[in-house]
Amino acid sequence: MSSIIIEIRAGAGGEEAALFAQDLFKMYSRYAEIQNWKTRILDSNQSEIGGIKQIIFEIKGNNAFSEMKFEGGVHRVQRIPKTEKADRIHTSTVSVAVLEKPETTQIDINPSDIKMDFFRSSGPGGQNVNKRQTAIRLTHGPSGIVVTSQTTRNLEENRKAAMEILKARLFERERKEIENKISGERKEQIGHADRSEKIRTYNFPQDRITDHRINKKFHNIEKIMSGNLKPIIKALTSN
């Protein structure tokens, strides 16, 4: 049974990008439910109208990494936003990162390398939603990686969640360094797409999803967004 950490961030497109980030999170959550995988939110930051600026969550289940690793990259959406009054089609982007969660023995972090800061959890619009400082920010000195967690009102639970995110990012960093040493340069292959690379376009007016890595189109977009990812994952894993 493998565990992965997925990070979804709204990119270009403002509130529409945040709404699509929410849609992607729902799609992955529903697919995880269909696969009998367990999902747990580690950190999230909502927009004012119900979208997601950023969300980090864990998925645990059989073959989770081998199936979901192809989701890493930039997802582009073309549709008429709910906030659009002139029925114009907008293009927005959301970035997704899929990190393999390391085993306990694979990543060893020196406690003296971590700086901890505590703050109040914030909701949409930035307002504080908790009077106590239960949210946590970890800064890893040697790498410069900064992570936060504010999903619960329990400081210790948020600290543990932040540590899991930090370890996953350090593990991914280490994996990339090893890969670069072996190849001499960044490998250009499916499953290791750079976060800046556009991997997929969701065209709602034309009811079409296009995966640019394999140049394949899929229809019935609403069904796919409801968790029916299997056809896309199957096409990617068999390519």
pLDDT, tens digit (0-9, with 9 covering 90-100), for 154-212: 788 888 888 888 888 888 888 777 666 545 443 443 334 334 468 999 999 999 999 99
CA distances for 50 relative to 3, 41, 164, 206, 226, angstroms = 28, 16, 26, 25, 18
CA distances for 145 relative to 59, 96, 114, 134, angstroms = 22, 18, 10, 20
Write out the two tokens for 32: 């995880």
CATH 3.30.70.1660 fits 2-102+189-237, yes or no: yes
Please tell me the predicted confidence (pLDDT) of residue 193. 34
Write out the two tokens for 3: 């565990």
- Give, as one character, the DSSP assignment of residue 133: -
Q: pLDDT tens digits for 28-71?
A: 999 999 999 999 998 888 887 788 999 999 999 999 999 998 99
Residue 11 to residue 53: CA distance in whole angstroms: 8
Range in 27-41, 115-129, 144-158 the model is least confident about: 115-129
Please tell me the predicted confidence (pLDDT) of residue 128. 47
CATH 3.20.20.70 fits 111-183, yes or no: no
Phi, psi of 216 (to 5 degrees): -125, 140
The domain ranges of the chain are: 2-102+189-237, 111-183
Please tell me the predicted confidence (pLDDT) of residue 50. 80
Residue 228 to residue 43: CA distance in whole angstroms: 25
Q: What is the dihedral of CA 197, 193, 100, 53, to 10 degrees?
A: 10
| Cβ atoms 100, 4 nearer than 8 A | yes
